[in-house]
Amino acid sequence: MRREAPQKLTDYAPLAFPAIMLTVFFVIPFGTMIAVSFFQRQQGGFYTPAFVFSNYERFASLFFANVLGFSLMLAILVAICCVAIGVPFTYLLTRMSRRAQIVWMVALLSVLSLSEVIIGFAWSTLFSRTAGITNLLVALGLMQKAVALSPGFPAVLTAMVYQALPYTILVLYPALVRLDPTLTEAARTLGASPLRAFFTVVVPALRTTILATLIMVFIFALGSYLLPQILGRPQHWTLSVLITDQAIYQSNMPFAAAMAVFLVLVTLAMVALTLFVGRKREAAA
Amino acid sequence: MSGLTLNSVRKDFGSFTAVNDVQLSVPHGTFVCMLGPSGCGKTTLLRMIAGLDLPTSGEIRLDGEDITAVPTHKRNLGMVFQSLALFPHLTVGENIAYPLRIRGAPREEQKRRVDELLAMIHLPGYADRPVAKLSGGQRQRVAIARALTRSPKLFLLDEPLSALDAKLREAMQVELRQLQQQLGITTIVVTHDQREAMTMADTVVVMNQGEIRQAASPMEIYRRPADTFVADFIGSTNLIDMDTDSTGRAIVLGQAITGLSAPRGGKAILSVRPEDIHLTAPGSDGAITGTVTFVRDLGGTIETFIDCSGKPLIAVSTPRARPEVSVGQPVGVVLDPGVCVVLDK
């Protein structure tokens, strides 16, 4: 079938529904938020329409730079961990029998049904001194006495990776299923060990997918605001936690909106940078 | 012994036996074609030689060394896959240099070898092209070159030409054979195309249901098939029931044929190639009488379909020896005992 460019106005009709949905549920709320971010805050939790930059000026402090830096670092680390675990896992998964694949997929999808709150409290129990996994290690004779693993940075990271991993695998799965299994076999007949074949053939052949997955997990992790509060110390709180705090507990809508807009801009900049670097390397290769 | 030897190689997938006690010896420098219908175990056998599948039992030796349990990457072989399996993220040159690159060979050596191989496959100057920009035939050549980069001891090809159109395929068959002779490399090709096998092979190995039915030169396979499967699978043939009368003469379709050795058990199958059936006037001496049912004149050859008391036969003749036949008319069928093959029933 030959696709022709739309000629008449009515040819664009199928675009109307997605365009309306996007406008109502994305453009308008986001526009409102941008507008509010320039509003003037009134004492007592209200704000009046204005056009001031004072909300943005508050960022220019070491405190916010630290929080932003930590948020980005955490999101990047979660993305790298998820891809580092997800790619080999999904690769092995696609080589299993159909039956085993279904069992794994159902298990992974069931993790998605858990809310962030449940995941947070489940891990805080697992990391606790009284009922946590260290008790198991003591029973096995690997540790002297049980210790608390939370709150702490490793606890936050673990729970966030746990939460994002099913998404990672679901995004990677179709690309890995489509990957020609003879590519690895060909590499092996050319003298590459299975591990070497994986890193010299599977990973480079999937670099676009891997890059897309990194970006997706990065954005997903940036939005996390419950797990850092449940499992981390205040220095592990992300910008998302501060936004929630300002919006809900401090009733400072304009400042929360400004932070959200700022976070979106930084995120877009990071994504653009990643894509730019990825494209440049592809051109060089 | 130099070359490849398979000793009672067997492969089971669950309760299904894909390859059953295969015994084969391939001398160094030989071109072998494994031929058989799909599912006959030929690809499984090739994958076991490559080390991609492990045999359930048996032993594979290369140049006297037992390689049954040696992992694929330590076997020094080159393999061309049916899908070609060219690495999509690499250029033509990088694909060909891959075996050298992962071994950490110096860049100059890689470049020299790539240029050498590109010249050999008649694609000089293609090193920097992306693989996706090549035509089917060019990809084929690159896959062959990549498999030969390391100058392997063994060159394996799994249905290498099946993706090409008929004309290109025929040309590549000749090219592949010439390349193999020039390099003197032991080569095993899996194919289901008998023309391919007849064109290229020193030895054709005919397989069916996991077993080798015959391994011999193409002419031997064609002229002296070991059984009815081989006779029927290679080229086309007429398989006719054969009997003996009380005096020990061979009886074919009610006609005694002199000069044909009578089968031991009395009953047998006679394989007659269509080009070995001569058509004469009905009632001639020693001729079987039949009725012409159809004539297919293809220009280069003429196929005559004959019904001999219920048994359909096909005779092929050249335009020069055009038979005087017409549909519905009786015809005399003469079988040349010298070229007929008597097979066990």
Same domain for B287 and B247: yes
Same domain for B227 and B112: yes
Same domain for B88 and B62: yes
Q: Of A185, A194, A200, which is closest to B85 when you measure between CB atoms?
A: A185
Close Cβ partners of A22 (under 8 Å, ≥ 6 residues apart)? none
Close Cβ partners of A21 (under 8 Å, ≥ 6 residues apart)? none
**B317 DSSP assignment:** E
Taking residues A185-194, what's their average pLDDT? Answer: 92
- B76 contacts chain A (CB < 8 A): yes
Mean pLDDT, chain B, whole residue set: 88
Close Cβ partners of B282 (under 8 Å, ≥ 6 residues apart)? B289, B330, B331, B332
pLDDT of residue B143: 93
For the cut 80, the answer to whether the pLDDT of residue B264 exceeds it is no
Two structure tokens written together for A82: 């998820």
A6 assigned to some structural domain: no
For the cut 90, the answer to whether the pLDDT of residue B249 exceeds it is no
Q: Of A186, A192, A207, which is closest to B102 when you measure between CB atoms?
A: A192
- Top mean pLDDT of A30-44, B183-197, B251-265 is at B183-197
Which of A178, A190, A199, A201 has the highest number of chain B CBs within 10 A, making it the mutation to test binding with B? A190
Two structure tokens written together for A38: 């320039």
Give the domain-ending residue among B189, B207, B232.
B232
Q: Of A185, A196, A285, which is closest to B81 when you measure between CB atoms?
A: A185
CA distance B274 to chain A (A): 42
Which chain A residue has the Cα nearest residue B96? Answer: A190
pLDDT of residue B247: 76
Nearest to A201 by CA among B95, B63, B261: B95
Q: Report how many domains make up chain A.
A: 1
Give the domain-ending residue among B183, B209, B232.
B232
Same domain for B44 and B140: yes
Give yes or no for a contact between B299 and B306, defined as CB atoms under 8 angstroms apart: no
Two structure tokens written together for B210: 């996991």
Instruction: Say which residue the tokens 């608390």 belong to.
Output: A148
CATH number of the domain at B338, please: 2.40.50.100
List, as one string, the DSSP characters of A16-33: HHHHHHHIIIIIHHHHHH
Same domain for B251 and B327: yes
Nearest to B95 by CA among B86, B106, B103: B86
Sign for the CA dihedral angle at B258, B260, B262, B266 comes to negative
| Cβ contact A187–B98 (<8 Å) | yes
**E strand spans, chain B:** 3-13, 16-27, 31-35, 57-62, 65-66, 77-80, 154-158, 186-191, 203-208, 211-216, 238-244, 250-252, 255-257, 268-272, 277-280, 288-297, 302-308, 311-317, 330-335, 341-343
Same domain for B182 and B275: no
* C-beta neighbour count of B270 within 10 angstroms: 23
Same domain for B244 and B162: no
Q: What is the pLDDT of residues A78-103, one digit of tens each?
A: 999 999 999 999 999 998 888 999 99
Close Cβ partners of A176 (under 8 Å, ≥ 6 residues apart)? A87, A90, A91, A93, A94, A206
Which chain B residue has the Cα nearest residue A285? Answer: B90
Same domain for B129 and B57: yes
| Cβ contact A191–B150 (<8 Å) | yes
A194 assigned to some structural domain: yes
Least reliable range by pLDDT among A54-68, B6-20, B130-144: A54-68
Which chain A residue has the Cα nearest residue B156? Answer: A189
A9 assigned to some structural domain: no
Which chain A residue has the Cα nearest residue B145? Answer: A190
pLDDT of residue A274: 82
| Cβ contact B88–A201 (<8 Å) | no
A254 assigned to some structural domain: yes
pLDDT of residue A217: 92
CA–CA distance, B175 with A162 (Å, rounded to integer): 56
CA–CA distance, B331 with B308 (Å, rounded to integer): 9
| Cβ contact A200–B102 (<8 Å) | yes
Close Cβ partners of A266 (under 8 Å, ≥ 6 residues apart)? A68, A72
Q: What are phi and psi of A215, to 5 degrees?
A: -65, -45
**Chain A: residues touching B (Cβ < 8 Å):** 180, 182-183, 185-194, 196-197, 200-201, 204-205, 207, 285
List, as one string, the DSSP characters of A132-195: SHHHHHHHTTS-SS-----SSHHHHHHHHHHHHHHHHHHHHHHHHHHS-THHHHHHHHTT--HH
For the cut 80, the answer to whether the pLDDT of residue A285 exceeds it is no
Residue B179: CA atoms inside 13 Å, Cβ hemisphere, count? 20
Q: What are phi and psi of B140, to 5 degrees?
A: -55, -50
Q: What angle do CA A87, A88, A92 make, to 5 degrees?
A: 115
Q: Of B77, B83, B102, which is closest to A189 when you measure between CB atoms?
A: B77
Side chain identity at residue A100, one-letter code: A
| Cβ contact A193–B85 (<8 Å) | no
> Containing domain of residue B261, as a range?
237-343
Which residues in B lie closer than 8 A to residue A210 (C-beta atoms)? none
Count chain A–chain B contacts defined by CB atoms under 8 A. 69
Cis preceding linkage at A151, omega within 30: yes
- B49 contacts chain A (CB < 8 A): no
Which residues in A lie closer than 8 A to residue B72 (C-beta atoms)? 185, 188-189
CA–CA distance, A224 with A75 (Å, rounded to integer): 9
CA–CA distance, B313 with B274 (Å, rounded to integer): 8
CATH number of the domain at B11, please: 3.40.50.300
CA distance A216 to chain B (A): 23
CA–CA distance, A221 with A217 (Å, rounded to integer): 6
Which chain B residue has the Cα nearest residue A199? Answer: B102
Give the domain-ending residue among B166, B201, B232.
B232
Q: What is the pLDDT of residues A114-161, one digit of tens each?
A: 888 898 889 888 888 877 788 888 888 777 777 777 788 889 999 999
Which residues in B lie closer than 8 A to residue A207 (C-beta atoms)? 89
Same domain for B209 and B134: yes
pLDDT of residue A82: 95
Pairing of strands B203-208, B31-35: parallel
pLDDT of residue A147: 77
pLDDT of residue A2: 60
A5 assigned to some structural domain: no
CA–CA distance, B341 with B13 (Å, rounded to integer): 36
CA–CA distance, B262 with B34 (Å, rounded to integer): 33
For the cut 80, the answer to whether the pLDDT of residue A166 exceeds it is yes
Give yes or no for a contact between B62 and B154, defined as CB atoms under 8 angstroms apart: yes
CA–CA distance, B187 with B31 (Å, rounded to integer): 5
pLDDT of residue A81: 96
Same domain for B309 and B218: no
Which of A178, A183, A189 has the highest number of chain B CBs within 10 A, making it the mutation to test binding with B? A189
**Which contacts of B176-179 are long-range, i.e. CB under 8 A and separated by 24 or more positions?**
B176/B144, B176/B200, B177/B31, B179/B120, B179/B144
Two structure tokens written together for A76: 């990047």
For the cut 60, the answer to whether the pLDDT of residue A228 exceeds it is yes
Sign for the CA dihedral angle at A77, A81, A86, A91 comes to positive
Which residues in B lie closer than 8 A to residue A193 (C-beta atoms)? 71, 73
Q: What is the pLDDT of residues A252-276, one digit of tens each?
A: 888 888 888 888 888 888 888 888 8
CA–CA distance, B242 with B263 (Å, rounded to integer): 8
Q: Report how many domains make up chain B.
A: 2
- B132 contacts chain A (CB < 8 A): no
Two structure tokens written together for B55: 């045999």
Give yes or no for a contact between B201 and B174, defined as CB atoms under 8 angstroms apart: no
| Cβ contact B72–A185 (<8 Å) | yes
Taking residues B291-297, what's their average pLDDT? Answer: 91
A112 assigned to some structural domain: yes
pLDDT of residue A282: 65
Q: Is A79 exposed, middle or buried, given 0-12, 13-18 or 19+ CB atoms closer than 10 A? A: buried
Give yes or no for a contact between B261 and B244, defined as CB atoms under 8 angstroms apart: no
Which chain A residue has the Cα nearest residue B85? Answer: A183
| Cβ contact B102–A204 (<8 Å) | no
Q: Is A219 exposed, middle or buried, given 0-12, 13-18 or 19+ CB atoms closer than 10 A? A: middle
Same domain for B196 and B122: yes
SS3 content of chain A, % helix, strand, coil (to 5): 75, 0, 25
| Cβ contact A205–B89 (<8 Å) | yes
| Cβ contact B50–A196 (<8 Å) | no
A55 assigned to some structural domain: yes
pLDDT of residue A173: 92
| Cβ contact B52–A189 (<8 Å) | yes
* Confidence tier at B187 by pLDDT (50, 70, 90): very high
Instruction: Say which residue the tokens 């069928």 belong to.
Output: B333
pLDDT of residue B263: 67
| Cβ contact A190–B149 (<8 Å) | yes
Two structure tokens written together for A207: 């670099």
A7 assigned to some structural domain: no
| Cβ contact A193–B77 (<8 Å) | no
**E strand spans, chain A:** 40-42, 46-48
Same domain for B268 and B217: no
> Containing domain of residue A104, as a range?
15-284
Which residues in A lie closer than 8 A to residue B79 (C-beta atoms)? 185-186, 189
- Higher pLDDT, residue B253 or A196: A196
Instruction: Say which residue the tokens 């060089």 belong to.
Output: A284
CATH number of the domain at A137, please: 1.10.3720.10
| Cβ contact B73–A193 (<8 Å) | yes
Q: Of A189, A190, A205, which is closest to B88 when you measure between CB atoms?
A: A205
Q: What is the pLDDT of residues B81-120, one digit of tens each?
A: 998 999 988 999 999 999 999 888 899 999 999 999 999 8
Two structure tokens written together for A196: 């070497």
